[in-house]
C-alpha cells in the first residue's frame, strides 16, 4: 500500500465515510487507519439503532431483570448479582482489572483500525450502549489520540479482552496514549490540556467495549491489504527473474490456466503474460536454445502465486464479514424483545482465516527465494556466479540469498497455525479459546518478512538483467528496473547490500515500482 502524503493527510480530507455496521470493507479501513483522505461519521440509521438498543436495556433494568454483564459479574462471576447503585463501578472495575496487556505496543495505524472496527460493530445496535460511546471513539480518532495498547495478553476467547481494555481505559481518561517514540504517555494531562471530557461508562458499556475480535481483525486486515499489493509485485519480480534466467514464457499460455481454472492461477498467468507482453531482445536471444522446461519456481508461478492470491481473497472475505458483525455478549435484539447470551465474541473464524493467510503469504516468499537461488547458481543460469563478474575478490549476492533463506525458514515456524492451540481460562468458564490475536501477529510478521524477500528478488533480478546488457527485456520490466535503478545502481563491486534493500523496500511501500509499470498502461490484478 502506498504511504500517506501531505495531500492525503487527515487535514485535507475530501471524503466522509459513515459507519453503519454494514458496509465497511478492508480497502476503506486501510485508508481510514492510515488517514488517507477519509474521515469518519456515524450514519443516521446507526444512531437510531443504537438508541433503540439502549432504550430497551434501560427498560429491562428498570423492570429489575437480571442480565449478564449489565447487573452481574463477569466470566466465572456471572452468577453474582450487582446492585443498581454499583453498575457504574462494575464497568470501571471491569476495564481496570482487564487492562493486563504486555509487550511492545501496536502501531498507530493498527490501533486506529481497532477503534474504527469497535465503533462499527457498536453501530450495529446490538450492544445496548449509548450513542455517546461511539461518538467518544470518533472524537479520539479526529483528535489523533491513539491509545497505547500492548500487543500481548489476548487468547482470543471472549474476544480481545486485554488489548481492548487498554483502549477503553484511555477513553475513560485513565489509560495511556502512544507517544511519537512509541512510549506510553499518561492521557489525563493531555485530555485536560485539550479540554476533552473523558467517557463515563454506564451499565453494560464497559463489557460492550471489550467483547469482540477487533484487535485480531484490525491487525490481520491491514496486513492482508499489504499482502495483496505484494502479491502483484511477486508476479513482476518473478517475471524479471525469468528473463534474467532466460526462461520460457510458454508455461503462461492462457490455454494452460483455462484447463485448470482456479481464479488465482488464471490471474497470475494473465499478469505474467501482460508483464512479458511482447518478445524481448532477451527472449529472442534464446529462442532456439532447445530447453524444454524451466525449474518449478519459474514454470509453476501461476499455480503457486495463484494459490496465494486465492488464499488472501478468502481471508478478505472472512475479515469483511467480521468487520460488519455483532460480537458482543449478551446481544440486544430490541425489536424481538430479547437479550441473548452467546459466543459471537469467539475469535475462531478470524484465527483460522489468518492462519490460512499466513501459509498463503509464506508461499510467496518460499518460491521467490528459490528464484534468487537460481540467479546466483551457474548450474541453473548463464549468469556469472553470485551475480558478480569478479568472483572471489567480490562475493556478490551470496549473502543476499542466505538472508532470504533465513526469512523463509523463519516463516515456516511462524506459519504453524495458532488456532490449533487452546488453553482453558477464567476457572474453566472459558475453556476453548482461539489464539486469534497471536495468529494476527504471526501473519503480520510473515508479511513483513516476505516484503524483504521481495526486495531481495528485485535486487538480484535487476543485477542479473543488467549483466545481460545490451539485451533488453519487455517494456514493463525495463520500466520497473529503471525505477529501482534510480535508487539502487548496478553493483560493479561489493557494497553494503542492506542499504540497497532498504531503498527497494521503500519503493515497494510507497508504490513507486507498481506505478512505474502502470504508467506503461499495464494493470496487474489480484
Q: How far apart are CA 165 and CA 175, in angstroms?
A: 9
Backbone angles phi and psi of 19, in degrees to 5: -70, 125
pLDDT of the residue at 319: 98
Average pLDDT over residues 6-15: 49
156 CB burial (10 A radius; 0-12, 13-18, 19+): buried
Q: 445-481, pLDDT tens digit by residue? A: 999 999 999 999 999 999 999 999 999 999 999 999 9
Alpha-carbon distances, residue 501 vs 89, 458, 511 (angstroms):
53, 9, 15
Q: Of the listed 56, 68, 148, 296, which one is catalytic?
A: 68
CA torsion sign, 332 to 333 to 336 to 341?
negative
Q: Is 56 a catalytic residue?
A: no
Q: Which domains does the chain have, with CATH numbers?
A: 6-211 (1.10.275.10), 220-324+364-518 (1.20.200.10)
Average pLDDT over residues 126-134: 97
When computed from its CA atoms, the radius of gyration of the chain, rounded to whole angstroms, is 26
pLDDT of the residue at 85: 79
Q: What is the pTM of this model?
A: 0.94
pLDDT over 70, % of the chain = 96
Nearest one of 122, 115, 190, 191 to 149, comparing CA atoms: 115
For the cut 70, the answer to whether the pLDDT of residue 4 exceeds it is no
Tell me if 231 sits within 8 A of 308, measured CB to CB: yes
For residue 505, what are the contacts with CB-CB under 8 A and spacing of at least 6?
451, 452, 455
Alpha-carbon distances, residue 236 vs 268, 378, 495 (angstroms):
10, 23, 25
Helix, strand, coil percentages in the chain from 3-state DSSP, rounded to 5: 60, 5, 35
C-alpha 143: how far from chain center: 24
Tell me if 272 sits within 8 A of 291, measured CB to CB: no
Q: 362-419, pLDDT tens digit by residue? A: 999 999 999 999 999 999 999 999 999 999 999 999 999 999 999 999 999 999 999 9
Nearest one of 348, 380, 110 to 222, comparing CA atoms: 110
What stretch of H or E contains 403? helix 398-414
Q: How far apart are CA 355 and CA 418, in angstroms?
A: 7
Average pLDDT over residues 258-287: 91
Tell me if 117 sits within 8 A of 217, measured CB to CB: yes
Query: In terms of residues, how long is the chain?
Result: 526
Q: How far apart are CA 444 and CA 215, in angstroms?
A: 13
Whether the ω angle into residue 115 lies within 30 degrees of 0, i.e. cis, is no
Q: 39-74, pLDDT tens digit by residue? A: 999 999 999 999 999 999 999 988 888 888 777 877
Give me the torsion for CA of 238, 242, 243, 249, rounded to 10°: -110
Ranges assigned E (strand) in 121-254: 150-152, 176-178, 184-186
pLDDT of the residue at 5: 36
For the cut 90, the answer to whether the pLDDT of residue 438 exceeds it is yes
Amino acid at each position: 500500500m502506498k504511504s500517506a502524503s501531505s495531500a492525503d493527510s487527515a487535514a485535507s480530507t475530501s471524503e466522509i465515510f459513515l459507519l453503519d455496521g454494514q458496509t465497511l470493507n478492508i480497502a476503506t479501513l486501510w485508508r481510514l487507519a492510515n488517514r488517507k483522505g477519509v474521515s469518519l461519521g456515524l450514519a443516521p440509521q446507526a444512531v437510531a439503532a443504537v438508541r433503540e438498543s439502549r432504550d430497551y436495556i434501560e427498560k429491562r433494568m428498570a423492570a429489575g431483570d437480571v442480565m449478564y454483564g449489565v447487573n452481574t459479574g463477569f466470566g466465572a462471576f456471572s452468577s453474582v448479582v450487582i446492585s443498581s447503585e454499583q453498575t457504574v463501578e462494575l464497568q470501571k472495575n471491569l476495564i481496570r482489572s482487564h487492562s493486563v496487556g504486555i509487550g511492545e505496543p501496536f502501531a498507530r495505524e493498527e490501533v486506529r483500525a481497532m477503534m474504527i472496527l469497535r465503533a462499527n460493530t457498536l453501530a450495529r445496535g446490538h450492544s445496548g450502549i449509548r450513542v455517546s460511546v461511539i461518538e467518544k471513539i470518533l472524537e479520539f480518532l479526529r483528535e489523533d489520540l491513539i491509545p497505547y495498547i500492548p500487543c500481548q495478553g489476548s487468547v482470543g476467547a471472549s474476544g480481545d479482552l486485554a488489548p481492548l481494555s487498554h483502549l477503553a481505559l484511555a477513553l475513560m481518561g485513565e489509560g495511556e496514549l502512544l507517544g511519537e517514540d512509541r512510549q506510553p504517555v499518561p492521557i489525563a494531562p493531555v485530555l485536560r490540556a485539550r479540554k476533552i471530557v473523558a467517557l463515563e461508562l454506564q451499565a453494560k458499556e464497559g463489557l460492550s467495549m471489550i467483547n469482540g475480535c477487533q484487535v485480531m481483525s484490525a491487525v490481520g486486515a491491514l496486513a492482508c491489504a499489504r499482502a495483496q499489493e505484494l502479491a502483484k509485485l511477486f508476479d513482476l519480480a518473478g517475471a524479471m527473474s525469468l528473463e534474467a534466467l532466460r526462461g520460457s514464457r510458454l508455461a503462461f499460455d492462457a490455454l494452460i490456466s483455462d484447463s485448470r481454472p482456479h481464479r488465482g492461477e488464471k490471474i497470475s498467468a494473465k499478469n505474467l503474460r501482460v508483464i512479458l507482453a511482447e518478445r524481448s531482445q532477451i527472449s529472442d536471444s534464446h529462442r532456439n536454445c532447445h530447453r524444454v522446461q524451466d525449474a518449478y519456481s519459474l514454470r509453476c508461478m501461476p499455480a503457486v502465486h495463484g494459490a496465494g492470491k486465492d488464499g488472501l481473497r478468502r481471508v478478505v472475505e472472512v475479515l469483511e464479514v467480521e468487520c460488519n458483525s455483532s460480537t458482543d455478549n449478551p446481544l440486544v435484539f430490541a425489536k424481538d424483545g430479547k437479550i441473548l447470551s452467546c459466543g459471537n465474541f469467539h475469535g475462531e473464524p478470524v484465527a483460522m482465516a489468518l492462519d490460512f493467510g499466513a501459509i498463503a503469504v509464506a508461499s510467496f516468499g518460499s518460491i521467490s527465494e528459490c528464484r534468487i537461488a537460481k540467479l546466483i547458481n551457474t548450474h541453473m543460469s548463464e549468469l556469472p556466479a553470485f551475480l558478480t563478474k569478479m568472483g572471489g575478490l567480490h562475493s556478490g549476492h551470496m549473502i543476499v540469498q542466505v538472508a532470504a533463506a533465513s526469512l523463509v525458514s523463519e516463516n515456516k515456524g511462524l506459519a504453524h497455525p495458532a488456532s490449533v492451540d487452546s488453553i482453558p481460562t477464567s476457572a474453566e468458564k472459558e475453556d476453548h479459546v482461539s489464539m486469534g490475536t497471536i495468529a494476527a501477529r504471526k501473519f503480520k510478521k510473515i508479511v513483513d518478512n516476505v516484503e524483504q524477500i521481495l526486495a531481495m528478488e528485485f535486487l538480484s533480478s535487476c543485477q542479473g538483467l543488467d549483466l545481460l546488457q545490451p539485451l533488453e527485456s519487455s517494456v514493463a520490466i525495463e520500466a520497473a528496473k529503471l525505477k529501482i535503478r534510480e535508487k539502487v545502481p548496478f553493483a560493479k563491486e561489493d557494497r553494503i547490500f542492506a542499504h540497497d534493500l532498504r531503498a527497494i523496500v521503500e519503493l515497494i511501500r510507497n508504490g513507486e515500482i507498481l506505478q512505474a509499470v502502470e504508467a506503461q498502461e499495464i494493470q496487474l490484478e489480484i
